[in-house]
Amino acid sequence: MRGSGKVALVTGASRGIGRAIAYAMASEGYDLALNDVAGQKIALDGMLAEMQALGRHFRAYFADVSMEDEVTRMVEAALSSFGQIDVLVNNAGILIPEPVDTLASSTWDSVMDVNAKGTFLVTRAVLAGMRARHYGRIVNIASIGGKHGAPGQAHYSASKAAIMGFTRVLAQEVGIDGITANCICPGIIVTDMGRTNLANQAERERWIGITALRRLGQPEDVAGPVCFLASDEAAFITGQTLNVCGGIVLS
């Protein structure tokens, strides 16, 4: 029960990787502040109903992480309810595939706003509390796409590369306050977003063929490493980027 007595805020928690992270952290004893946009209310409410059986404190907060005022209200509400935020998992993200020559600037902005700016806004909102308590764990979900990219995903790749750069600087700024900041780079994970790279069976087989473990990832494959980086077992790890991709990127 690595999370006993601790509170974690997970953004984009209603489905895919975020959902798996939330359930894994709940099983480790964390109280959870779960975020998503209002359109995911039914899914997030269903998760809360299931989690009540675990006998811990769970609350849903609906906010668009790209909107500063909504982020501020969310974090203030979570702090009012829980009293503290020990762990932040910046998981919220979007992918809208489009090649560069037809990529609308509004689409570029939307992806960058949620993925990169959203990570910054939520992080900034929780830092004061973490600094005051001289403790914090920040885990940002990037992507191997931020390292090598894929056609139709220039804006997504740029946003995920930005998260990695942000995390490296953040780690240097907050380490003195007992806060760690690390990145997870998932590979091809079978989620609604991940299926963007799995348009047909041939594409699916191609990704399996270039993955050392010869299989696609599941959301739970990402949740375990997140829980480790959020724990005190990872207290001397900061500013790092961990590939969780089954061996597509080898570094």
Q: What is the pLDDT of residues 187-231, one digit of tens each?
A: 999 987 766 667 788 888 988 999 999 999 999 999 999 999 999
Dist CA 240 CA 139 (whole Å): 10
Confidence tier at 40 by pLDDT (50, 70, 90): very high
Structure tokens at 242: 């961990």
Instruction: For each of the domains in the chain, give its residue range(s) and CATH number, in order of start.
Output: 7-244 (3.40.50.720)
Query: What are φ and ψ of residue 14, in 5° steps?
Result: -85, -15
Q: Where are the alpha helices (DSSP H) in the chain?
A: 16-27, 41-51, 68-82, 105-112, 118-133, 154-174, 201-209, 219-230
Specify whether 156 is catalytic. yes
3-state secondary structure of 136: strand
Dist CA 217 CA 219 (whole Å): 7
Percent of the chain's residues with pLDDT above 90:
87
3-state secondary structure of 152: coil
**Residue 244: strand pairing partners:** 186
From 30, 61, 135, 156, active-site residue: 156
Q: What is the mean pLDDT of residues 45-52?
A: 88
Percent of the chain's residues with pLDDT above 70:
98
- Count how many Cα atoms sit within 13 Å of the Cα of residue 4 in the half-sphere of its side chain: 2
Dist CA 11 CA 14 (whole Å): 9
pLDDT of residue 195: 67
What global pTM score does this model have?
A: 0.95
User: Could you count the other beta carbons within 10 Å of the beta carbon of residue 106?
Assistant: 8
pLDDT of residue 194: 66
pLDDT of residue 54: 79
The residue that leads in pLDDT, 144 or 196, is: 144
Least confident of 128-142, 174-188, 197-211, 219-233: 197-211
Query: What does R_g of the chain's alpha carbons equal in angstroms?
Result: 17
